[in-house]
A = this chain, B = another copy of it.
Amino acid sequence: MTRNQSANANRPLTLRDVSEASGVSEMTVSRVLRNRGDVSEATRTRVLEAAKTLGYVPNKIAGALASQRVNLVAVIVPSLGNLVFPEVLAGITEVLDETPLQPVFGVTNYEPDREEKVLYEMLSWRPSGVIIAGLEHNEAARAMLKNAGIPIVEIMDSDGDPVDAMVGISHRRAGRQMAQAIVEAGYRRIGFLGTKMPLDHRARKRFEGFTEAMAKEGLEIVDQEFYDGGSALVKGREMTQAILSRTPDLDFLYYSNDMIGAGGLLYCLDQGIDVPGQIGLAGFNGLRLLDGLPRKLATMDACRAEIGREAARIIAEHAGDEAGGGERIVLKPKLQLGDTLKRRTAR
């Protein structure tokens, strides 16, 4: 007896069980369950009935090993607590839903070593593609991506060199654009508030683009404040209080994300500060949350859902290929001035 047909009642069901129950060969059962090849309607019905009665769930592990095909797409993001990433995932899911592909999510907490580990684990399941946030990876991760032999799409960022395909926005450009809008509106004493950024490359690039564009106008950031962990809304309030008590004559505050921006806005309103007359404010991401605030914060849309959709499309189009075709999609975020960034006369 080469196969286990013995007394273990709790062993998961196999194709063979369905085969025996329906009196049809394993191969034909397999065909029916995958809708492959020609099978007579009669056998088909019998097999499906048997499978259903038994409660058979196919073993994809065996199937994948035999067919050398896995319908999983590895999706690797830094965090889920950020609201930005769930929206990207929603975009991905929306598109993959139309295909046989299935997304599998991994989270890195912005740690390169963790990213490496997550990527390694996921690649060891031989997925049909990888969608990964950012263009910065440690050496090992980069090597794995290069040699994976499957389509790779790096998302969210376009400032750098992708391994294969890329869908994102230029955060440097976003920073520049916001700086220009702020300066053009007549603000001059500008403060920056953001995350401690060593590992959030996109926030860093926005900051760099911002300071660069300011420099072109002969301006510098007057004061800055950074945070780390905690509720972003609360941190936004606290940092705003801190920076304004240290440097009361600031006339604009640029926040590295909408949540801390919203906190800052609420703080300013609490304090009776005239926004945007006395102080202008801007954030980043274009969170829908902002629509519910008393005043609409200026921001830029990070094109989250569209990034997800495009990335998924690329993977779907290249599933089974050895690479994703190297397509590069750079989306243009729209500046939304809202109520907190308004032209004013210089003081």
- Shortest distance between the CB of A84 and any CB in chain B (Å): 11
Contact of A61 among B65, B87, B291, B292 (CB under 8 A): B65
Q: Does A129 contact B (CB under 8 A)?
A: no
Q: Does A196 contact B (CB under 8 A)?
A: no
A55 touches B86 (CB 8 A): no
Instruction: Provide the bound-state CA to CA distance between A59 and B107, in Å.
Output: 21
A292 touches B263 (CB 8 A): yes
Contact of A143 among B55, B123, B147 (CB under 8 A): B55
A104 touches B107 (CB 8 A): no
Q: Which residue of B has the minimal Cβ distance to A233? A: B292
Jot down 6 A-B pairs with beta carbons below 8 A, ordered by A. A10-B149, A55-B144, A59-B124, A80-B90, A81-B86, A231-B288
Contact of A288 among B124, B234, B266 (CB under 8 A): B234
| Extra contacts besides A59-B65, A60-B126, A81-B86 (19): CB < 8 Å | A10-B149, A55-B147, A57-B123, A57-B124, A61-B64, A61-B126, A80-B86, A81-B83, A81-B87, A83-B83, A104-B104, A104-B105, A230-B288, A231-B292, A232-B292, A233-B289, A237-B292, A262-B292, A270-B294
Interface residues on A, range: 35 or more
Q: Does A322 contact B (CB under 8 A)?
A: yes
Contact of A125 among B10, B61, B90 (CB under 8 A): B61
Instruction: Provide the bound-state CA to CA distance between A322 and B147, in Å.
Output: 38
Q: Does A226 contact B (CB under 8 A)?
A: no
Instruction: Provide the bound-state CA to CA distance between A276 and B147, in Å.
Output: 61
Tell me the residues in window 74-128 of chain A with beta carbons closer than 8 Å to chain B beta carbons: 80-81, 83, 86-87, 89-90, 93, 102, 104-105, 107, 120-121, 123-126
* CB within 8 Å for A266 and B292 given contacts A81-B90, A121-B102: yes
B90 touches A126 (CB 8 A): no
- Shortest distance between the CB of A53 and any CB in chain B (Å): 11
Instruction: Provide the bound-state CA to CA distance between A10 and B143, in Å.
Output: 15
